[in-house]
Chains A and B, each alone.
Chain A
């Protein structure tokens, strides 16, 4: 019989008390573990989503969106300015223009305006004077869709083409830096205009050769053309100008500093948006869950410590005479403190085993409840839909990132590993030691002489 075996025996001295304390402590430990698991799971998910969203920053001229708005495009001077910033891995230049059928090109648009297109055209201020016949009105209000022309310095940066895929159905890609009068055409416009590889068409008063036909999986972008940037700059009288710059930082960690540098260099001239900005808003509910989990974890650990502290205090007071007798028959303070600490450890570890089992069982349901009850989750889904119904190329990019963020909420599963169990047991030991520390002080103050006087 030693200190350890006495401590273990003492832990089970009073069955009802042991069961009650174990139950309450197990609840506290289970809650701590559940919150720890939730915290780690959500943290991992946030990091994972941010990593999958990527480290891309989009720089557009202030006031310009697609073909709407007004202001001045960016220049190659701005590009040089940005390229001097540290932690930039790559920059991709994009220029866009529109061709009007029967004016700038002999191509026919592959997209019919429909009621949407006609209504947009009416809002663009087609003037109908008094006395104009219905037939004339209808002819003025109906129009041919313009043909979008995009140029990029890197076909591998899909965001530059506002597409999620870009496959070459036939032909070959051209060198993005060439000045030749060549173009890649989408499948829809190729079919509409009977174009094949090697065909020529008229654009900007010049003959342009089809070097390849592409498929983006999207009708709108399949009705567009892609040209070399220098060629398009010359054709459209936008030499040395770019409409969008896509900047990639060298890592997720530097994206924020790069973004700030770009903003400071370009000032009011440009809008600088990172996909992280968009994801931060979308990930706010997860961040809220992370905060709740952290505070709950701290609260549960504190509750556990208080429980074991009060328990040991109660036990020490109850066994004051016994402590006095042990001291009288030769035990040291350290021996008695060790015995009570072991008792506290046994209670806590026993409760930990039950708490860990409960933590395993309830971690996923609690995590799902936290996510479902997070108010912003539903709003995020609606925002995504609204944005997708908006206009233009920019939307496809945003929609892509938010899709992956939406997916973040649907695919969160608590990950329960040995490391987490280890943390749980370590927390239990710390709780036991902290909880028995102050009662240990009281033990040291018990005077054996009191045992005699109380007889």
Chain B
């Protein structure tokens, strides 16, 4: 469902052009759990930004379910992010003064879901990621790192996206918790039929993925 063709992203650094993403091509099937691996500066986060329509490519195409998001205008891109994409960040990036439940409800609010529907789905998702009971009403400051990342995953699933982009989802977690999170992502990819692309520098995580893209200097090395 995801097809990337001749994708290029160029930045200007003084008098020099830097190709953060340099002519990348790949395809990913629906419901697959994929990883993108590479050293710092290899272009992983830039590629993820482009796939998530957080940034626009210099050239090339990104087709998600038949739509080339590289050609969408700003308002269409907002709609695309709202309906088709879920993000999981390394630092969780939860809203600190909202409860776990409220954090999961926010994307649904942006998508026009009524408040009752928001609450019901949010509770269900949090149960699914293993956060139930009174923990759902705690603010992020009172949750552990692993619990916060579970909330972030639940938030990413809120609007039933086609694609979840996870940027170093276990980067701030201990190995045991990291494994739990990766397993969670893998299972959700199957159960929700959502394609998950996780950026990581952890080879161990990459081994668990169906497909791994090795990035080097903006190109896919494998």
Contact = CB atoms under 8 A, between A and B. Distances in A.
A10 interface: yes
Interface string A329-365: 1111001000000000000000000000000000000
Contacts of A326: 95, 106
B36 interface: no
A6 B98 contact: yes
Interface in B148-190: 155, 159, 167-168, 171
A449 B54 contact: yes
Interface string B107-118: 101110001001
Nearest to B110: A330
Interface of A is mostly: helix
B89 interface: yes
A448 B97 contact: no
Contact of A452 (B115, B159, B167): B167
A329 B118 CA distance: 15
Most buried by A among B48, B75, B95, B118: B95
Q: Max chain B CB contacts within 10 Å: which of A326, A327, A328, A335? A: A328
Interface of B: 45-46, 48-49, 52, 54-55, 75, 78-79, 81-83, 86-87, 89-91, 93, 95-98, 102, 105-107, 109-111, 115, 118, 155, 159, 167-168, 171
A322 B96 CA distance: 9
Interface in A88-125: none
B177 to A, nearest CB: 18
B90 A455 contact: yes
A9 B98 contact: yes
Given A329-B110, A330-B107, A332-B78, A322 B95 contact: yes
Q: How large is the interface on A (under 10, 10 to 19, 20 to 34, 35 or more residues)?
A: 20 to 34
B152 to A, nearest CB: 10
A134 interface: no
A330 B159 CA distance: 10
Interface of A: 1-2, 6, 9-10, 13, 321-322, 325-332, 335, 447-449, 451-453, 455
Contact of A10 (B97, B109, B115): B97
A374 B82 CA distance: 64
Contacts of B46: 453
Nearest to A321: B93
B91 A328 contact: no
Contact of A9 (B52, B93, B97): B97
Most B CB contacts (10 A, CB to CB) among A2, A328, A452 go to A452
23 contacts: A1-B106, A2-B109, A9-B97, A9-B98, A10-B97, A321-B93, A322-B95, A325-B87, A325-B95, A327-B81, A328-B81, A328-B87, A329-B106, A329-B110, A330-B81, A330-B82, A330-B110, A332-B78, A332-B110, A448-B55, A449-B54, A455-B45, A455-B91
A214 B182 CA distance: 112
A329 B97 contact: no
Contact of A330 (B49, B78, B98, B168): B78
A1 B102 contact: yes
A81 to B, nearest CB: 76
A1 B54 contact: no
B168 A455 contact: yes
A72 to B, nearest CB: 87
Contacts of B171: 455
A393 to B, nearest CB: 79
